[in-house]
Amino acid sequence: MDFIDLFSGAGGLSEGLKEAGFHPLFANDVVSTYAITYKQNHPGTKVTTADIRTLDAEQIRKDLGIERGQLDLMAGGPPCQGFSINAPVRSKNDARNHLFKEYLRFVDAFAPRFVLIENVPGLVSFEHGETLNAILMSLSDLGYGVDVRILGAAYYGVPQMRWRTFIIGSRGSELPTNAFPSPIYHAPIKPNFTTTYNGRQLVQLPNSELEAKFTTVREAIGDLPPLKSGVRGLRVKKYACEPFCEYQVRSRIGSSGVYNHEAPRLAPINLERLKYIKPGGNWTDIPEDLLPKGMKQANKGDHTKRYGRVEADGLASTILTKCDPHWGAYFHYEQDRSFTVREAARIQSFPDHFIFYGNTAEQFAQVGNAVPPLLAQAVGLSIKNLLES
């Protein structure tokens, strides 16, 4: 089963689809370091670095030797900053909000059997649903039966509180009701965004009969070697112990050691603050005289993830493009430091053989912008079942 990945980033969506049995033929991203990471981890894929608006979709299809209608899947995640409920300005005048039209241009050129669009939950409410409606109607006009769901990553084994919107389209037929994967784990996550569209509930909750519990932070990163703040150490490190859960066994498949595992250097004031923060705690544990000036007057019920130390047996907060303690719970549960790139990647469910390139800031951005591979794999398996049937 072949697919192409547009707005591919470092390749989290592609990694999950590969694990579901798909083969990436082509990928494109405008950021060169993202494309380098993608190419190094998917060596058999043709990867280009370019603004998608400059690409000739018909020529790419011909270069790949694909007839129109032959491709199994077109996947992609048009930039989501303009859609995000967390964006400072949510305006339809943001040029990034119209890049989905470029994706649709490729759909028209390739006419794949299935299409997959991934985005943030805020897409559903952006412009009162007008953008989402435009995407669905455009796919329908191209001959696709289409639907949308919001999936909680923790319901599929990803150890963090992350939600993503997925749109799936089936060429020439109505999309079956089982097109989206059912949750396989219970997890303590709650939506903080609009969950309905045209009166329909888009979030599917786990079946009450499920017994499987979510993956914890300890299960995700507990076998990685301990570090102190600011320590880089060897480029490739040894694991701290044998894997003690299935998540770690999966993470180590094909791995030759621990890459991208260097501890960011915390400022002395943050190391001092960290002494007071217990697992599961946050900025409210810090003595007032050590708080940042802007937070001394803050309500103690606000900003509950800032300067947070994760609970070993809980879920991590959503991995962002930088694990800055000022913006989330990114302090290690027992080591006095913040997460490394590898720990962030583990929490995103990247396997250890997936290596990130560029400087540390670029690596964190690649991890934070990615679709969790385990979540992508779950969606890919559902589409695979539809293709095979």
Is 18 inside a domain boundary? yes
Which one is predicted more confidently, 124 or 381?
381
Answer yes or no: is 334 within a domain. no
Instruction: Please give the Cα distance from 80 to 140 (Å, whole number).
Output: 22
Domain carrying residue 104? 2-209+372-388
Which entry of 80, 241, 245, 323 is annotated as an active-site residue?
Answer: 80
What is residue 79's predicted lDDT score, i.e. its pLDDT?
Answer: 66
Query: Per-residue pLDDT for 82 more than 60?
Result: no
- Residue 6 phi/psi, 5-degree rounding, is -100, 145
% of the chain at pLDDT higher than 70: 95
CATH code for position 168: 3.40.50.150
Buried b (16+ CB within 10 A) or exposed e, 196-212: ebeeeebbeebeeeeee
Phi-psi region of 147 (alpha: psi -120 to 50; beta: other; left: phi over 0): beta
Q: Can you tell me the distance from the alpha carbon of 374 to that of 372, in angstroms, rounded to the nearest whole number?
A: 6
The pLDDT of residue 94 is 57
Secondary structure letter of residue 227 according to DSSP: -
Q: What is the pLDDT of residues 257-316, one digit of tens each?
A: 999 999 999 999 999 999 999 999 999 999 999 998 888 888 877 777 889 999 999 999
For the chain, give the mean pLDDT.
Answer: 91
What's the pLDDT score for residue 12?
A: 96
Report how far residue 369's alpha carbon sits from residue 222's, in angstroms, rounded to the nearest whole number.
Answer: 23
pLDDT tens-digit readout, 87-124: 445 555 555 556 878 888 999 999 999 999 999 898 88
Nearest alpha-carbon partner for 198 in 126, 133, 118, 120: 133
Q: Has residue 261 been placed in a domain?
A: no
Q: Provide CB contacts within 8 A for 4, sequence distance 6+.
A: 24, 25, 26, 27, 64, 71, 73, 74, 75, 106, 110
Please, which contacts does 82-88 make with residues 24 or more away whose CB atoms are closer than 8 Å?
A: 82/126, 83/119, 83/120, 83/122, 83/123, 83/126, 83/131, 84/120, 84/122, 85/120, 85/121, 85/122, 85/125, 85/193, 86/122, 87/122
- Asked whether residue 377 is domain-assigned, the answer is yes
- Annotated active-site residue 80? The verdict is yes
Sole residue written with tokens 């993608």: 38
Whether 171 has a pLDDT exceeding 80, the answer reads: yes
Query: Based on the structure, what is the number of domains in the chain?
Result: 1
Q: What global pTM score does this model have?
A: 0.92
Residue 116 lies inside a defined structural domain of this protein: yes
Percent of residues, the chain, with pLDDT higher than 90: 77
Residue 273 three-state SS: helix
- The single-letter code of the amino acid at 363 is Q
Of 109, 77, 59, the closest CA to residue 5 belongs to 77
Residue 55 lies in a domain: yes
Residue appearing with tokens 């027992």 = 334
3-state secondary structure of 208: coil
Residues 37 and 363: their CA atoms lie apart, in Å, by 9
| pLDDT above 90: residue 347 | yes
Per-residue pLDDT for 72 more than 70? yes
Q: Does 309 map to a domain?
A: no
- Residue 379: inside a domain: yes
